[in-house]
Amino acid sequence: MQIGPRIPRIKAAGSDGWEIVYRARALVAAGEHVLNLTIGEPDRTTDPRVLTAMHEAAMGGLTGYTFGPGLPELRRAIAARVTERTGVATRPESVIVTPGGQAALFAAHMVLLSQGDTGLYITPHYPTYPTTILATGAEAVSVAASAEAGFQPKAEAILEAQARTGARSLLINTPNNPTGVVYTPETVAGIADACREANLWLISDEVYDTQIWEGAHHTPRALPGMEERTVVIGSMSKSHAMTGSRLGWIVAPDEVVEAATVLATNTTYGVVPYIQKGALAALELGPDFEEEIAAPFRRRRALVQAAVAGSDKVSTAPAAGAMYVMLDIRETGISGEAFARRLIEEERIAVMPGESFGAAAAGHLRVALTLPDADLSEAVTRIVAFAEGL
């Protein structure tokens, strides 16, 4: 017997860099000290107040099925947060709660794409972007944002890709994982222009919207003519240190929310209700709490920049947000993959090779700002020294 072709098709999309993660874990299991800069997960655990809310909700009986798009009170809180942060009046009916941001990405593409369609995505990209599109049966086509352009995507490249492929959707991510780049107002306006001109659905992954170190976050949903064609992905994972709780959402036109609700009924049956109550408690802690979660990454980004300053072999991409800094090591003359493999074996430092985020990130390394300050400074200082000694 053979399995169906869907999963092999996804796996055929290529390496996602996880071999470095697995190697680091194996070394740690063998008792070795590894400075691990691979995973984008806050290094603080979920706040006790949030866990208490979950516990009380569970003990109070909220352990059954959750049908539909989410608890009404949580949808109201998400809609209020989106309205406050973006200036776009958002109704609870425009929100569906999902089991994490990845499930939101999957649901959005399942709703918008079908077999034989094409979905575009900006690269460098989070590794599941093309595979999520492929999972729908559609083709996944990348649109490169080059290092020379500061990893800011260009409208003309989007239009060219759409004209060539007949694509129905475009997936973007700002603040960006892996580069740490925040799209400028001009970039966001260009993306919106391209989507209107080419009649594209825009899926905007904004899970890092609280982590802005320079400038401001600009959602394309706020621009004229975009609310009706934009699907925004949100999550509690990064903003509230709730990665394992798997609580995300979609903000979208009503027909998308209704279709995603049908999909949820036939896949997840919704999100665990006591987890939703925990998310509600977290949102009620307000923007000061979100800034508290973000503050270490702001500080550590400056530490990385200081450690790299003055090197003729290593520089940083213009990281203005998110919990990552992309190191440009092209001056060493070797690939990011080769550099990362040597680094883990010779220095016991684990980083993600740029190539795992697409060809546009070749010759780079992604550093997650998720170690304590002293360990992070040591790791980056040693990376610079390693690069200069090659």
Domains of the chain, CATH where assigned = 48-287 (3.40.640.10)
- Single out the residue of 172, 127, 185 nearest to residue 145, CA to CA: 172
Structure tokens at 310: 């003055």
| pLDDT given at position 14 | 59
Starting at the edge strand that comes first in sequence, how are the strands of the sheet with 248-251 ordered? 95-98, 248-251, 230-235, 201-205, 169-173, 118-123, 139-144
Q: CB count, 10 Å around CB of 258?
A: 14
Contact, 50 vs 240, CB < 8 A? yes
E strands present in 291-378: 315-316, 324-328, 349-350, 352-353, 364-368
Q: CB count, 10 Å around CB of 276?
A: 24
pLDDT digits (tens, 9 = 90+) for 327-348: 999 999 999 999 999 999 999 9
| pLDDT given at position 67 | 79
pLDDT digits (tens, 9 = 90+) for 264-294: 999 999 999 999 999 999 999 999 999 999 9
Give the torsion sign (CA, 79, 80, 86, 90): positive
pLDDT band with cut points at 50, 70 and 90 for residue 18: confident
Contact, 131 vs 13, CB < 8 A? yes
Whole-angstrom Cα distance, residue 4 to residue 253? 33
- The chain-wide mean pLDDT, for the chain, equals 96
CA distance readout (Å), 274 to 53, 240, 298: 8, 16, 31
| Residue reference for tokens 């979660």 | 293
pLDDT digits (tens, 9 = 90+) for 100-153: 999 999 999 999 999 999 999 999 999 999 999 999 999 999 999 999 999 999
Structure tokens at 324: 């990552």
pLDDT digits (tens, 9 = 90+) for 157-191: 999 999 999 999 999 999 999 999 999 999 999 99
- Single out the residue of 345, 355, 347 nearest to residue 381, CA to CA: 347
| Residue reference for tokens 């694509």 | 167
CB-count burial class (<10 Å; 0-12, 13-18, 19+) for 71: buried
User: 3-state class of 122 per DSSP?
Assistant: strand
Contact, 72 vs 277, CB < 8 A? no
Output the CA angle 274-39-183, nearest 5 degrees. 90
**pTM, whole model, 2 decimals?**
0.96
| pLDDT given at position 25 | 94
Whole-angstrom Cα distance, residue 74 to residue 281? 9
pLDDT digits (tens, 9 = 90+) for 207-257: 999 999 999 999 999 999 999 999 999 999 999 999 999 999 999 999 999
